[in-house]
Amino acid sequence: MSLKKILELADTHGFFSPVKILGQDFVNSFRLGPTGELLAQNIQKEWIYSCVSSGLPDTVFQHHSPSSHLSTAQRLKGAFSSARSLMNGKVPFALIEVRGVEEGHKETTDDVIPRTRHPLHYAAFVNQKSGQQFFYRWQQHRHMWWRKFSMDPGRFSLVENKDCNVSQVDIRVKFPWGDFTVETVRNHGLDFFGSVENGDKNGFEVSDNRKKGLPYVVESSCTLEAAMLCYLCDGFSTSGKSQFTLHRRLAPYKVAIAASAEPTTH
């Protein structure tokens, strides 16, 4: 398996082509073609469905916050307030965002993942007693999601990231040319609100057994670009001719063959 051949085939079949800025040695963005747009839409749709149907928790709200320069807690403040009101001030519930754009740093970005990318962000707010258990259940749920659409599920693994200030697990995918992280799951607990001024923390308080307090937060994030590259590399095959084999729920185009029920004459 050659990454260069995969990128060439992805461009040929209209999935995407890497875009570099003149004088820079890293990929700045992916220019999506017609099939790439459909693949991205299918990945996003399956990601949303997975979050909503997981039952971890039962209630999930979608939102959009254009202020990317703020901390995650500050960006979620408005959406959190609305969701809390709809939930009568109680947890658990989750917030998801799919329309954001982020700029990664060259030194923290895998060489094959573009600097400009579209994150799929999930933040769950649960009570403090069940927070740790939720963190373990959610990382397993996300791990299984990546395996579900893979031609080789064994290439995905959960790896504890000890270089972070918070408890974090990375979902890694292994290929002959190297490994890269496709998703991170962070166990923030109450530290999620560290960037919030003390006077503003009341805006995040919820009811828990008739007591008010801050919720326990578990966060996960991946990007459409990483998911697209991952599944194209996963489905790349050179048996007979070079081609991509994608899961039917992700495939841009679907073909069905139906046999006629009418008798034929010879």
**DSSP state letters, 228-262:** HHHHHHHTEE-SSS-EE---TTT-SS--------S
Helical spans, DSSP H, in 27-167: 34-53, 72-86, 131-148
Helix (H, G, I), strand (E, B) or coil at 25: coil
Per-residue pLDDT, averaged over 54-77, amounts to: 86
pLDDT of residue 264: 65
Helices and strands, counts by H and E, the chain:
5, 15
Q: How is residue 153 annotated by DSSP?
A: G
C-alpha distances out from residue 13 to 16, 229, 239, Å: 8, 14, 17
CA distance 214 to 207: 9
Record the pTM.
0.90
Structural domains in the chain plus CATH codes: 3-244 (3.30.930.10)
The per-residue pLDDT for range 144-156, each reduced to its tens digit, is 999 999 999 999 9
Q: Is pLDDT at 127 greater than 70 in this prediction?
A: yes
